[in-house]
Amino acid sequence: MYVSLVLLIVILISSILGVIEYIRHQKRIFSIPIRIHVNGTRGKSSVTRLIGAGLREGGISTITKVTGTFPRLILEDGSEALVYRKASANIIEQLSIVKFAASRKVNAIIMECMAIQPQYQWITETKMIHANLGVITNVRLDHVDVMGYTLPEIAESLANTIPKNQKLFTSEHEVADILKKSADKKNCKMIVSDPDSVSDDETEGFSYIEHRENIALALAVCEHFGIQRDVALKGMYKAIPDEGALMHHKVEAFNKVINFYNAFAANDAQSTLIIWNMIKNEIGLNRPRIILLNTRHDRMGRARQLTGMLGNNLNDEIDYLFLIGQSTDVVKDLSIAEGVNRKKIINLGWTNPAVIFEKVLSRTEKKSTVFAIGNMGGMGSQVADFFKHRSISYG
């Protein structure tokens, strides 16, 4: 009886404290005039960073939170701080970010959605962010076990962050009608950005390879807030790219040149193929062409998608498929089953970047292209850093 009474009191006190904290959070979030919630399958981190950079350059004090490859907090002056986590990622993290931003009395907060489960996306928007401008970058086939096995299903899942009675900006075209239906239900006006509105000269200002879709989307949001295009672009050019951004590193060693493209963060097959074709058509791909596929044992669904894309779309275009990371024996079998020529497959497994570099070098006569895909996690970031730090002449 006594234990039950104590337990009841503890529950009652916890509930009261929870209600008090919820009320405090609502006051904090609504004290920030501009609240932007960025969702989507690909490009969330990049678009979040670009919008934040554009707003800052336009004189709007802004704090930006990106999940990205590694969680970062971008302050009013554009400097960054690591978001420290004691445990695995949890949407409760967003509450502390709002508290921090409110304490600094900023005019804008831009939050990359970190929820994958549809119900958590809804909670993040309706209980935590209360965005007065929503962003959905695009809709691609990823996290299908949670968000749905078709593009319309994934679009409906992402639509959980569309704010009521506000505006939604997106660069999605294929299933834009699904997003439009969800936006209409919430009395939210949807604006679709046009990647063709971004010129070649405007893309050349970036220190890395930024997608026109991302630039156009971020510029549309900045324009909404009255920031001139040249001003917004000036800020975007200065912004620090996400560690998973598409990067090109030219490595010269022993009279050979390796062009390394870090596309680890693309993850899904459709985005990966789009990047491959973009580089092939706009820059060119030297031979031999090497696909470097980094896999994780908890992302076998992604590996199946990527090997299917390689077998169906790129089998005749690539010279080698290097497999690194976890469960590479399984991925080798998947690749062969999907039609990849077994003679092209080199299974390196879990190894170190130096071994990968030597294998690439041994397959390079004069110039080669390495297209790194799959996962930034596991071995991905180590390999990317290795090639990045050696992108000078040596040996």
234 and 164 in a common domain = yes
Contact 290, 371 (CB under 8 A): yes
In a domain, 25, yes or no: no
Q: Using the predicted structure, report yes or no on whether residue 68 has a pLDDT greater than 70.
A: no
In whole angstroms, what is the distance from residue 283 CA to residue 285 CA? 7
- Cα separation, 74 vs 366, in Å, equals 41
DSSP for 165-208 reads: TSEEEE---TTHHHHHHHHHHTT-EEEE--GGGS-HHHHTTSSS
Range of 3-7, 158-162, 242-246 with top mean pLDDT? 158-162
User: Of 261, 308, 55, 115, which is closest to residue 64 (Cα–Cα)?
Assistant: 55
Q: Quick check: helix, strand or coil at residue 39?
A: strand
pLDDT at residue 39 greater than cutoff 90: yes
Average pLDDT over residues 86-100: 87
Out of 186, 218, 238, a domain closes at 238
* Residue 18 covered by a domain: no
Boundary-marking domain end, from 220, 238, 256: 238
Residue 259 lies in a domain: yes
The reported pLDDT for the residue numbered 4 is 74
The percent of the chain in helix, strand and coil, each rounded to the nearest 5, is 50, 20, 35
For residues 344 and 226, state if they share a domain. no
CA atoms of 228 and 219, how far apart (whole Å): 9
Q: Has residue 392 got a pLDDT over 70?
A: no
Same domain flag for 125 and 82 = yes
For residue 395, pLDDT over 60 is answered with no
Q: With a cut of 70, say whether residue 186 has pLDDT above it.
A: yes
Determine the Cα–Cα distance for residues 254 and 14; give it in Å rounded to an integer: 66
- What mean pLDDT value characterizes the chain? 92
Three-state DSSP class for residue 311: helix
CA distance 353 to 385: 9
> Number of folded domains in the chain?
2
The residues pairing with 247 across neighbouring beta strands, listed in sequence order, are 262
Per-residue confidence (pLDDT) for residue 12, from 0 to 100: 74
CA distance linking residue 162 with residue 179, whole number of Å: 9
- Tell me, what's the pLDDT at 82? 85
Residues 202, 289 share a domain: no
258 and 233 part of one domain: no
Q: Are residues 124 and 195 in the same domain?
A: yes
Question: ∠ CA 309-311-314 to the nearest 5 degrees?
Answer: 75
Per-residue buried b or exposed e for 75-103, using 16+ beta carbons within 10 Å of the residue's own CB: bbebeeeebeeeeeeebeebbebbebbbe
pLDDT at 373: 95
Q: Is the pLDDT of residue 69 over 70?
A: no
pTM (2 d.p.)? 0.84
Q: What is the pLDDT of residue 22?
A: 79
Alpha helices in the chain (DSSP H): 2-30, 44-57, 93-103, 118-123, 144-147, 151-158, 176-185, 200-203, 212-224, 229-238, 269-282, 300-309, 328-337, 353-362, 380-389
pLDDT classification of 256: cutoffs 50, 70, 90: very high
Owning domain of residue 373: 247-394
Q: At residue 393, does pLDDT exceed 50? A: no
CB 358 within 8 A of CB 219: no
Kindly indicate the confidence band of residue 394, based on its pLDDT and cuts at 50, 70 and 90.
very low
pLDDT at 9 over 80: no
pLDDT on residue 3: 64
Structure confidence at residue 1 as a pLDDT band (50, 70, 90): low
Position 10 in a domain: no
**Mean pLDDT of the 336-361 span:** 95
Query: Do residue 295 and residue 160 come from a single domain?
Result: no
pLDDT (tens digit per residue) in 192-234: 999 999 999 999 999 888 999 999 999 999 999 999 999 999 9
For residue 291, name the pLDDT band (cuts at 50, 70, 90): very high
